[in-house]
Amino acid sequence: MKNIQYIVIFFGITFGLKGQNLLSLEEAISKTLENNFDIRIARNELKIDETNVTVGNAGMLPRVNGIITNNNTILNIDQTFANGNEVEIDGAKNLNINYGIGLEWTLFDGFRMFARHNQLKEIQKLGETELKVSILSKVSQVYETYFQLVNQQQLLKNIDSIIAVSEFRLKTAQNRFTIGKASKLEVLNAEVDYNADVSTKIQLNEQYAISKVLLNELLVQPAETDFVVVEIILIDESLKLNDLLTAAKEQNPELQIQFINKKIQEYELKQIKANRYPTFNLTTGYNLVRSQTPFGFVTESTGRNFNYGFVASLNLFDGFNQNRNEKTSKLQLENTQLQIEKQSQAIQTQLNTLYQSYLSNLALLTIEQKNEKIAKQNLDITLDKYKIGTISPVEFRTAQVNYANAVIRLANAELNAKQTEINLKAVAGSLNL
């Protein structure tokens, strides 16, 4: 893959970056992947999905319950027997204890448990893809914000050099006015232009500071953390639309989510259809029973029993709800397919639009490169003429402004080309994470 490196070099004084930490793009991405809150939340959501993928959660394993029941009764009783004897008991205590273990196992439920298990696996894949969406979104923001900072650092260097030239012009005008070779108007014009350049720098510094705060938020570090970025932008010129479209079909995470949702809905339909089949449950258990009573023919008894059997059930009629549920599920499945087609078309439109911008920005970048060189040559010649007094201050300022605008357009063209490249790769799912 071919890369063209554009490094804009400005004349004049050096932008003061000493003592600040250098933050590389790789380090910024690494910190984002490790610290960003949205990515960490998505990772935990994926862990939940992974935890849920078990045969027990799908209903394939038996259910075993331990049971203990203790019923006590205190009562007053008068009894008259057939032989005429009478018994009167006050505060009689009746004790019944039942404890044991029971097992219930669904052996067949119309294949619902298998569909449920496969559905849980697809939900896990959905969690993995949603994590990728979160990572891709945040890394794309890091790319864009980082290169905005590169652009702003370049413009700050440019404005510093412009201010240095304006300061030289102002001092020259003041010296010429002192010796009587220039009017007060020339000094005032030079001072206005100098102040305008300083005002521009203040605005650029504001944008630069805000971009740093935004990047610090993505990296989850204190908002006041200071750093500088590497002033190099590598632009990939080799992107082809057909390759991007092919990659998007296989890698675009939003499209992959729709495919997974379709599989989940297919397994949901299978679970609903399972209600048409009979259900077989195996039941078994072992119980201990003990009872005590101070009256009656048996005052105390204990027993042990083992029971087993099965339960079979079949839904014969449920008010046509089965037909309604299946019809609703099929319509939901159809909607999922329509969402896939809609998403595919949206991706194609987005890629085609971005690719046209990408080609235009590359063409503009080539033109602005040439314009910057021409404007620099013109400014150098004009500056030499201004020093020897063969050109007017207005002509010199015009050359200065033309060069400044040419550098700004070059830096912006470079940034725009890089941003469209990032967006293209993000949509195609091929952005380097």
Task: Note the pLDDT tens digit of each residue in 61-82.
Answer: 999 999 898 888 877 777 777 7
Q: Which range is least confidently modeled, 52-61, 104-113, 174-183, 237-246?
A: 174-183
Q: What is the mean pLDDT of the chain?
A: 89
Q: What is the mean pLDDT of residues 302-318?
A: 90
Predicted confidence (pLDDT) at residue 294 exceeds the cutoff of 70: no
* Exposure string for 78-110, b = 16+ CB within 10 A, e = fewer: eeeeeeeeeeeeeeeebeeeeebeeeeebeebb
142-182 pLDDT, tens per residue? 999 999 999 999 999 989 989 998 999 899 889 989 988 88
Instruction: Specify whether the CB–CB gap between 303 and 289 falls below 8 A.
Output: yes
Predicted confidence at residue 213, as pLDDT, reads: 96
83 vs 38, which has greater pLDDT?
Answer: 38
| Confidence grade of residue 297 (pLDDT, cut at 50, 70, 90) | low
Q: Which range is least confidently modeled, 261-265, 302-306, 337-341?
A: 302-306
| Confidence grade of residue 272 (pLDDT, cut at 50, 70, 90) | very high
Predicted confidence at residue 299, as pLDDT, reads: 65
Centre a 10 Å sphere on the Cβ of residue 58 and count the other Cβ atoms it contains.
19
Q: What is the mean pLDDT of residues 113-135?
A: 96
- Tell me which residue of 379, 363, 360, 275 sits closest to 320, measured CA to CA: 275
Tokens of 306: 């083992």
Predicted confidence at residue 368, as pLDDT, reads: 95
Tokens of 279: 């259900």
Q: What is the mean pLDDT of residues 107-121?
A: 95
183 vs 227, which has greater pLDDT?
Answer: 227
208-263 pLDDT, tens per residue? 999 999 999 999 999 999 999 998 888 999 999 999 999 999 999 999 999 999 99
Q: What is the mean pLDDT of residues 108-119?
A: 95
pTM across the whole model: 0.82
H-type alpha helices, 109-252 = 112-178, 184-219, 241-251
Predicted confidence (pLDDT) at residue 18 exceeds the cutoff of 50: no
